[in-house]
A and B are shown apart, each in its own frame.
Chain A
């Protein structure tokens, strides 16, 4: 049986991840990072509608309240940042001690690392755009 078709494993993985102290939305977004990234790259995300969508599928804030658009956007940024950092770390580990003539191609889904300043500025711009109805 492949891992993909293993509902028992899925259930156990869900339990294991729920003890991470992360919010349900964070876990949801992290487990679907690549697909969600593709989605929001295609269309400019409407955070308000996405927050409503999450409520409809039962993804709520840690205290059981509906998510705000701002919370969804912030959580997505945190997930992007964490996934990018984890992938960068993984790539660094995978690098051989001695450089080889032909470096291995990075995994196709790897994102460029998000610099802290770039991250702060993007988030600020996003918030200001949202505040301005853009």
Chain B
């Protein structure tokens, strides 16, 4: 293990929770966090609580997921994830699907942010936003309900889900001028722009993640990405890192 990895593993485990409507880039963003940690020599728990899509579980064979999508099973499984984090002192990347229903129900049983504070876990909320009005409304409904509102909060605006031919400024105009977005930033949320990665599908199919693909690693088909695509992926990762670093968000990640 490298010195940096040793230092990081000695730090508090991070509970990174991805929230937002489907097709907002949540699985893409969360998978990048997992690969980022692994690329830096840290093993994180991958927890896929989105039983409908199970995208994270399909990407990471060691991912954990609830037995069924029934609420009692999801809540029981969530408790197990937290217990495991404490026992193994390991960070977790958690996809909660839409998130609102589970958080509301779970919030009645356990005050998650307070629990994290007491047990030494650093909670991090990652809201993934597409350009639709409903995407922001969904995010605001979770945030305003207050069941999970940690100090560390990122708002990821995903260019990758914009319809072809539309600009980011046009697509997100309504979101950017919404007072709710400003209120979240007033409360400390950090905005992150996630650019479109043209070769996203190729990276996914490679099965080795963003960092492996960018470094020219061989995918599951035995071939690396073409150099142009590997370079695009590398630049995409650099941009994402810079976006998060601008407001200190890189330090929050698992």
Contacts and interface: CB of A to CB of B under 8 A. Distances in A.
Interface string A113-134: 0011110110111011101111
A95 B200 CA distance: 57
Interface in B58-98: none
B58 to A, nearest CB: 30
B195 A131 contact: yes
A114 B167 CA distance: 28
Given A128-B168, A132-B167, A121 B159 contact: no
Contact of A117 (B168, B172, B176, B186): B186
Contacts, number: 44
B172 A128 contact: yes
Interface in B185-206: 185-186, 190-191, 193, 195
A121 B182 contact: yes
A63 to B, nearest CB: 15
Contacts of B114: none
Contacts of B186: 115, 117
Contacts of A129: 169
B247 interface: yes
Contacts of B157: 124, 128
Q: By CB atoms of chain A within 10 A, which of B182, B191, B247 has the most?
A: B191
Interface string A5-39: 00000000000000000000000000000000000
B134 interface: no
A128 B167 CA distance: 9
Question: Interface of chain A, helix or strand or loop or mixed?
Answer: helix
A101 B167 CA distance: 53
Given A117-B186, A120-B185, A121-B181, A131 B169 contact: yes
B144 to A, nearest CB: 16
B227 interface: no
Interface residues of A, number: 17
Contacts of B146: none
B176 A132 contact: no
A133 B182 CA distance: 24
Contacts of A123: 246
B170 interface: yes
A74 interface: yes
A117 B246 contact: no
Contact of A132 (B170, B185, B191): B170
A124 B176 CA distance: 9
A93 to B, nearest CB: 27
A134 to B, nearest CB: 6
B228 to A, nearest CB: 20
Contacts of B182: 117-118, 121
A121 B185 contact: yes
A44 to B, nearest CB: 14
18 contacts: A74-B246, A117-B182, A117-B185, A117-B186, A120-B191, A120-B247, A121-B176, A121-B182, A121-B185, A121-B191, A124-B193, A125-B176, A128-B157, A128-B172, A131-B159, A131-B168, A131-B193, A132-B167
Interface of A: 74, 115-118, 120-121, 123-125, 127-129, 131-134
Given A120-B247, A128-B157, 10 more contacts: A117-B182, A120-B190, A121-B176, A124-B157, A124-B191, A128-B169, A129-B169, A132-B168, A134-B167, A134-B169
Q: Which 9 A-B pairs have the closest CB atoms?
A: A132-B167, A132-B169, A117-B185, A117-B186, A124-B191, A128-B168, A128-B169, A120-B185, A132-B168
